[in-house]
Amino acid sequence: MNRFALVSFALLSTTATGCIFGVDTSPLCDDSEPNCENGVWVFDTDNDDTDAGDVGDVDDAGDTDTSPDPDTDLPPDLTLELTGGEESPYVIDEATGVVSFEAACAPDGCTLDVCTLSFEGGEAVELESCTETIELTTAELNAEGSWTLTVNASLDEQTESASSTFDVRYAFDAGIEGLTPGPQTFSHPPELTSFCTREDCELTISCTDAEGGELACEDLAFPEGEAIVNIALTACAAELEPAHCLPAQDYNFTFEPPTWTQVATGAAHSCGILDDGTLWCWGNNGSGRLGDGSSTQRDQPTRVAGDGVWIAVSAGGQHTCGIKEDGSLWCWGSNIRGQVNFGSNAESSYDSPLLLDDNDVWNHVAAGNEHTCAITEDNALYCWGDSASGQLGPDPVTNGRTQVEIDDGGTPINTFVAVAAGNAHTCAVTAVGANGWCWGSFSSGQLNGISSGDSSPRMINPTLSDPDNTTLTVAAGGAHSCATVNANGQIRTYCWGDFTFNQLGHTDDSYPGQPTNLSNTQHITAGSQHTCAIADEIAYCWGDNIRGQLGHSDSSTSTPTPVSEFESDWTDIAAGTEHTCGISANTMYCWGLNATGRLGNPAAGGATPTPIAWPYTP
């Protein structure tokens, strides 16, 4: 047992001059009182209700326990933790970016009082709210640089603060327009344009060849004569520390021969579309029909001026028309008959593509000798240009063009899905019933096989207007016409009109008949005095062969005969006045008369299909 006694002392103080002090020894308590022995208070400090070694508190009731008295113990310390900012610098979208933080204080009862934000050590601005989750958007983080978030917390009279300093950068994009970094192929020097979504962007561009040798490519001018070109591009925001740059981008270009998808031939020129949507023409460039901004003859393909992706092309006598992927219609070349520009104040010719009527979206276009027809997305058919033979249709010319409407026994027909323009006549397929109609010059039976009557629209009888048959395509040549028809599931070909040079492929005079030994035709084209078709990927030609335009050594023949050299893989073919071009295994071939460069190869000519001379082979 541990015991202690309380003793009372009475002190008498003295001064330094000798005053004395005394001790009061009178009893402090009466022995009859509890815990009083010999006049002194005595207490037991080893009570049974306490653990060994513990010293209990003495409260007003005289008992001992281990609980603190609230009036003598201090409250626990206030703590505050702010998490976030560890991933600095934060790259966020300038419009929608968010940076998040978490604030937590302890113990219970503490409060988050004020949150402030300062930029680059400047004045702190109080946030509208201060909660456990703090989300800062670009409304608050309205500049790139160093930001400091400070959170203040309190508990009773205690206060704490915590801060986090972090950098903010705005996300941006840069590169070469239309391309994704990595392997690229090219068949001609691409026109490259760099971009960056920041105004203060610093672009660094370098070019190397296959061995890593440096190439000049200022302003992304593509190096010529190289089969492999590597372009490295880096983009950084100007004057930011730490630097804010995008990962380096590498574009690796490798030359591949051109891949052709479409071909068109005119009187003395030819055109084709590559798989990248670029349009190229070659041959006679009188009146600017090649569309390269000049009137210079081109013996090799030259790119049609302007940008955009071309999806269709048609070559006429001395003009050309095309449609881009946005549905816009463009024409160029001779406009002596208004075949290019039907508007007022038109020029006599255009050496670059001219946009026509940008209020419409166009699906099909056909360029004839001196007139043009095209179909809108609403299946309305318009024609303009020379109307001397009634080739524009029966309706009057309004604002320089005619909207074709056919009177079928009192029933108007004004929607169409296909059109072809010949020397002086036009043929089309109706949207309703899929019937074939032709109008214009008729003297050779090119409208429906009958050479009498007038230029009014005629239904092509009987097969092409049979209600059980569907006319798929039409073709119009010098003075003859052809069509493909789905007759109860069988694809059949019919031709009619002038048969002077056996261009109909049958012996039924001018009436619609099927060319001999030709079935399952996928494509048909009518030239001035010859005809070609593709059936089961084999190209056939027949008619006049005086210039070798049939692509084989036979003389003029009425029997469809395969084009020599290549027996399969034909995907497109076009017959011109005295020449023909076609695509086999993605390669463009031309044959026939090579006057004015229309075959695209100075070494070509005659009946042998010859690849065009591509001007950009490394």
Residue 365 clears pLDDT 70, i.e. is over it:
yes
CB 278 within 8 A of CB 188: yes
Per DSSP, what are the bridge partners of residue 440?
Answer: 425
- Percentage of the chain exceeding pLDDT 90: 78
Q: What confidence score (pLDDT) does residue 555 get?
A: 85
Q: What confidence score (pLDDT) does residue 508 get?
A: 85
DSSP states along 369-431: SSEEEEEETT--EEEEE--TTSTT-SSPPBTTBEE--EEETTEEE--EEEEEE-SSEEEEEES
Among residues 468, 453, 561, the alpha carbon closest in space to that of 510 is found at: 453
Residue 209 clears pLDDT 70, i.e. is over it:
yes
Complete edge-to-edge strand list for the sheet that includes strand 458-459: 416-421, 425-430, 436-440, 458-459
- Six-digit token pair at 216? 């000049």
Among residues 560, 493, 13, 576, the alpha carbon closest in space to that of 318 is found at: 576
The model's confidence at residue 9, banded by pLDDT at 50, 70 and 90, is very low
- Six-digit token pair at 203? 């672009």
- Six-digit token pair at 387? 């109307």
The model's confidence at residue 343, banded by pLDDT at 50, 70 and 90, is confident
The model's confidence at residue 27, banded by pLDDT at 50, 70 and 90, is low
Of 26-35, 235-244, 318-327, 441-450, the range with the lowest mean pLDDT is 26-35
- How far, in Å, CA of 432 to CA of 459, rounded? 13
Complete edge-to-edge strand list for the sheet that includes strand 36-37: 3-6, 40-44, 36-37
Among residues 232, 235, 248, 169, the alpha carbon closest in space to that of 197 is found at: 235
How many residues does the structure list for the chain?
Answer: 618
- How far, in Å, CA of 329 to CA of 338, rounded? 15
Q: What is the pLDDT of residues 269-294, one digit of tens each?
A: 999 999 999 999 999 999 999 999 99
The model's confidence at residue 244, banded by pLDDT at 50, 70 and 90, is very high
Average pLDDT over residues 331-347: 94
Q: What confidence score (pLDDT) does residue 60 get?
A: 45
Residue with tokens 């009057």: 396
Q: What is the pLDDT of residues 556-592, one digit of tens each?
A: 999 999 998 777 899 999 999 999 999 999 999 999 9
pTM for this one? 0.78
Residue 29 clears pLDDT 70, i.e. is over it:
no
Q: What confidence score (pLDDT) does residue 376 get?
A: 97
Q: What confidence score (pLDDT) does residue 42 get?
A: 60
CB 89 within 8 A of CB 144: no
Complete edge-to-edge strand list for the sheet that includes strand 371-376: 362-367, 371-376, 381-385, 402-403
C-alpha Rg value of the chain to the nearest Å: 47
Q: What confidence score (pLDDT) does residue 477 get?
A: 98
Q: What is the pLDDT of residues 595-615, one digit of tens each?
A: 999 999 999 999 999 999 999
- How far, in Å, CA of 191 to CA of 100, rounded? 43
Please state, in angstroms and as integers, the Cα–Cα distance from residue 201 to each residue in 182, 197, 314, following that order.
22, 8, 43
Average pLDDT over residues 543-548: 97
Q: What is the pLDDT of residues 387-408, one digit of tens each?
A: 999 999 998 888 889 999 999 9
Of 257-261, 312-316, 396-400, 464-468, the range with the lowest mean pLDDT is 464-468
Q: What confidence score (pLDDT) does residue 103 get?
A: 97
Phi and psi at residue 234, in whole multiples of 5°?
Answer: -125, 150
Q: Name the residue with higher pLDDT: 307 or 1.
A: 307
List, in order, residues 6 or more apart from 275 with CB less than 8 Å away: 259, 260, 261, 586
Q: What confidence score (pLDDT) does residue 359 get?
A: 85
Q: Which DSSP state fits 234?
A: E
Pick the CATH number of 79-170 from 2.60.40.10, 3.40.190.10, 2.60.40.420, 3.40.220.10: 2.60.40.10
Omega of the bond leading into 89 within 30 degrees of 0 (cis): yes
Q: What is the pLDDT of residues 503-543, one digit of tens each?
A: 999 988 999 999 998 989 999 999 999 999 999 999 999 99
Q: Which DSSP state fits 441?
A: -
